[in-house]
């Protein structure tokens, strides 16, 4: 969720632009709105007073004197009502324009108030509604001149003059509306861009958390399975010679220390702040570390056979080597947990031209896979499949026709 854009000086903006981009049915009137409304009110009132003064002076060239004398008083009264109604023009612009339509047929003093109301309709209402209201007022101009002919101008000249005033008012209102819509559109685009940026950041964090969780699973599952294997050996042979017990205890201590170091490195990524974001990452395992990984498994009592047929091993890209290492690590962990005592074979083949192929095999245990003594998450192969998919490779696993369980992965070798 993004917070609405709050202007620095909302009192300088129209109420329609201070709602944070959220359309409000009745925007709260700002200081600027009060100033504008007061200015329009004073202009309309000044026009009414000037018309009344000229009528008192009995100037025949002024339109207010056209028609019977009693109509002058009615005209001024209607003008006063129209001017007073300007204070509610923002709330009911269309209704006010329709109510003042018959007033404009005979009232000269309401002329400025009518123009202000038409301006309000054009600014605050959609084009079809505004066009209909303005059209009605344009049609009323000839009728008004019939009822109260202008004593100076001809009918055609009067129609052109009044029509020009209405057209100028409409053009001004359309400009103001277009400008406000542009501002709201830009504000909406900015808020959408901010929301999209926050979404991208959230997704990036989720991806990073998933990567870290996968790393923790791969590292800790391997180390803890080694600890379980050594501890199981001590439990199975409680009468072992002291040197052998001491050696096994040393291996357990070293494995626990290594597991803690790996866990500390992964948690360090979670706690890294912005200032340390440019610090180099700790060295990651590569395909060249697979023999050491196999050596650890053998030292724990696991029977592993390694066949390394990779051409140009020094040219293995870092990302490819890291993915290959994790695949071998997960494969040995699964074999150690579900098929203890069975020989596991690891075969690495391939090169820059045909990619890297990793195959891990072990005989299917008699009676089926053994339930691990240490419960796992059950997502090891899922994590490996995700790694392979992200690398653009293929992964197959399961029991084949020979009765062996195999884990085979092919990874592209970028050149």
Identify which has the larger pLDDT, 281 or 347: 347
Assigned token pair, 340: 């203890």
Given CA atoms 132, 185, 179, 42 in this order, what sign does their dihedral have?
Answer: positive
Q: Tell me the pairing of strands 404-411 and 394-399.
A: antiparallel
User: Does 214 score more than 80 pLDDT?
Assistant: no
Residue 35 half-sphere exposure, CB side, CA atoms within 13 Å?
A: 7
Identify which has the larger pLDDT, 281 or 331: 331
Please give the pLDDT value at position 412.
93
Q: How confident is the model at residue 306 (pLDDT cuts 50, 70, 90)?
A: very high
CB atoms under 10 Å from CB of 306, counted, come to 17
User: Does 305 score more than 90 pLDDT?
Assistant: yes
Q: How far apart are CA 173 and CA 167, in angstroms?
A: 10
Assigned token pair, 140: 């009323």
Confirm if 48 and 72 have CB atoms less than 8 A apart.
no
Average pLDDT over residues 99-112: 84
Please give the pLDDT value at position 1.
45
For 56-93, write each residue's pLDDT tens digit: 555 554 445 455 566 677 878 888 898 898 888 888 89
Please give the pLDDT value at position 396.
92
Average pLDDT over residues 364-377: 57
Distances in Å between the Cα of 168 and the Cα atoms of 119, 121, 155, 172, 312 are 10, 14, 20, 6, 81
For 151-172, write each residue's pLDDT tens digit: 667 778 878 888 889 999 999 9
Confirm if 64 and 54 have CB atoms less than 8 A apart.
yes
Please give the pLDDT value at position 207.
74
Q: Which of these, 307, 309, 330, 327, lies nearest to 319 by C-alpha position?
A: 327
User: Does 376 score more than 70 pLDDT?
Assistant: no
Mean pLDDT of all residues belonging to the chain: 78
Q: How far apart are CA 5 and CA 191, in angstroms?
A: 8
Assigned token pair, 106: 């005979």
Angle at 323 between CA 320 and CA 327, to 5 degrees: 135
Identify which has the larger pLDDT, 404 or 256: 404
Residues 283-415, CATH architecture: 2-Layer Sandwich (3.30)
Q: How far apart are CA 113 and CA 105, in angstroms?
A: 13
Please give the pLDDT value at position 106.
79
For 309-353, write each residue's pLDDT tens digit: 998 888 888 889 988 998 998 888 888 888 888 899 999 999 888
Identify which has the larger pLDDT, 146 or 279: 146
In the chain, where are the structural domains located? Answer: 10-196, 283-415
User: Does 262 score more than 80 pLDDT?
Assistant: no
Please give the pLDDT value at position 275.
44
Chain centroid to CA 64: 61
Tell me if residue 65 falls in helix, strand or coil: helix
Identify which has the larger pLDDT, 16 or 274: 16
């Amino acid at each position: 969720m993004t917070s609405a854009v709050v202007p620095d000086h909302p009192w300088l903006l129209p109420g329609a632009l201070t709602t944070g981009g959220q359309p409000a049915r009745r925007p709260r009137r700002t200081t600027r709105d009060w100033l504008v409304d007061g200015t329009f009110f004073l202009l309309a009132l000044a026009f009414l007073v000037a018309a009344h003064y000229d009528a008192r002076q009995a100037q025949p060239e002024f339109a207010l004197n056209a028609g019977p004398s009693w109509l002058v008083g009615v005209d001024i009264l209607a003008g006063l009502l129209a001017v007073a109604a300007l204070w509610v023009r923002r709330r009911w612009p269309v209704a006010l324009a329709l109510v003042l339509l018959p007033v404009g047929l005979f009232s000269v003093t309401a002329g400025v108030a009518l123009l202000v109301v038409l301006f309000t309709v054009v600014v605050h209402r959609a084009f079809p509604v505004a066009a209909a209201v303005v059209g009605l007022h344009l049609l009323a101009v000839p009728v008004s001149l019939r009822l109260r002919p202008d004593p100076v101008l001809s009918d055609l000249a009067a129609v052109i003059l009044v029509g020009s005033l209405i057209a100028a008012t409409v053009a001004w209102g359309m400009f103001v509306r277009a400008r406000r819509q542009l501002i709201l559109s830009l504000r909406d685009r900015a808020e959408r861009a901010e929301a999209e940026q926050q979404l991208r950041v959230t997704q990036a964090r989720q991806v990073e958390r998933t990567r870290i969780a996968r790393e923790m699973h791969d590292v800790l599952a391997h180390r803890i399975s080694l600890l379980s294997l050594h501890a199981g050996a001590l439990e199975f042979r409680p009468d072992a010679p002291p040197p052998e017990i001491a050696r096994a205890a040393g291996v357990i201590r070293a494995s626990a220390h290594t597991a803690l170091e790996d866990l500390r490195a992964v948690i360090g990524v979670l706690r890294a702040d912005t200032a340390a974001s440019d610090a180099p990452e700790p060295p990651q395992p590569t395909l060249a570390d697979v023999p050491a990984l196999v050596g650890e498994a053998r030292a724990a009592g696991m029977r592993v056979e390694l066949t390394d047929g990779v051409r140009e091993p020094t040219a293995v890209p870092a990302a490819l080597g890291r993915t290959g290492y994790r695949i071998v690590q997960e494969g040995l962990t699964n074999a150690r947990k579900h098929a203890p005592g069975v020989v596991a074979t690891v075969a690495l083949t391939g090169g820059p031209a045909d990619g890297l192929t990793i195959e891990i095999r072990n005989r299917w245990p008699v009676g089926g896979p053994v339930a691990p003594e240490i419960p796992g998450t059950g997502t090891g192969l899922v994590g490996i499949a995700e790694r392979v998919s992200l690398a653009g490779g293929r992964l197959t696993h399961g029991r084949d026709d020979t009765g062996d369980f195999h884990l085979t992965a092919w990874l592209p070798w970028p050149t």
